[in-house]
Structure 1
Amino acid sequence: MKNFFLLFERWTTLAALLGACAMLAVAATLGMFQIITRFVLEQPAEWTEVLIRFSLIWMVFLAIPAAFRQGAMVSVDVLYRWSPPRVRRVLDYVVALAALALIGVIVWFGWDYAKRGGVQSMAGLESVSMFWAYVAMPVGGVFSAIGILGNLMDPQRLELENAQ
């Protein structure tokens, strides 16, 4: 069961990270398009700014699960380094539970916010609902929860190993 979940987590985190990379590519492409239309063609495309902003929001919420999986969660590094192995495992659970509580709040209120914002339309793109921008919070939160549980089952402390 543990190996199945870790395989599932690996695939979901990879999918989220690929989505984050795609959103970064979209933002960069739209940024270049905006520069060309504004300064070369002198015909600004206002809709690109809105899409850049929302693609960056999606990028952040889809990249967070990879950081959680690598152990880049809020922790007390000095306490962790000085603690015996049994206490370290307790700290792992405390940090994971705190992170899951935060992600739970983000998912719960993010979904509520997305539902409420569904009646709004994007400025510059009146035919597109704001729901699609706000739903990045619960989607990223679900991926993050899977990454947190994966890190709890198979700890990776890459931020501690790379710390100076």
Structure 2
Amino acid sequence: MSRSWMRGDTGPVFPLTVRPAKTVLAVVHSQQSGDRLSEFVGPLLETDRRVQVVWTLAPGSQFESSGRAFLRRMDAAVLSWAEATSFDYDLAVAANHGLLDQVRAPVLVLPHGTGFSRHPARGNGYGPEVARPVGGAAPVRSPGTGGWFPPP
């Protein structure tokens, strides 16, 4: 059976489901991020019939194939990235930062792995030392410049 998603008031709706009150997009970047998201999404959101959870794979990660395999094993509604980024959502959850600027929703980024909230190691290099962002910290957009800068 081919999937045919409709554009609903709360995001993508599969015709055979009940109309949800809220729609959440779970963005997987790798198997590890998918595992972390399933620990959060399953118990908290998927048990509430008012919330429809839709999953997608963000392209471009070097671990993308593990994320694709993770989604194949799930019994869940999965949209392609192109489909997923064409809808609005009430919330998006992710455990990585890649391509989240393309998601049309407020985004909640969950920590995953041991590197989260740690300073990356300094590499040998030339020139003055620069501030090291904390791993996993969300970048802050500088108004009027169009640029992205780590938080102060």
User: TM-score band, normalised by the shorter chain?
Assistant: under 0.3
Higher relative contact order (CA 8 A, sep 6+): 1
Give the helix-richer structure, 1 or 2: 1
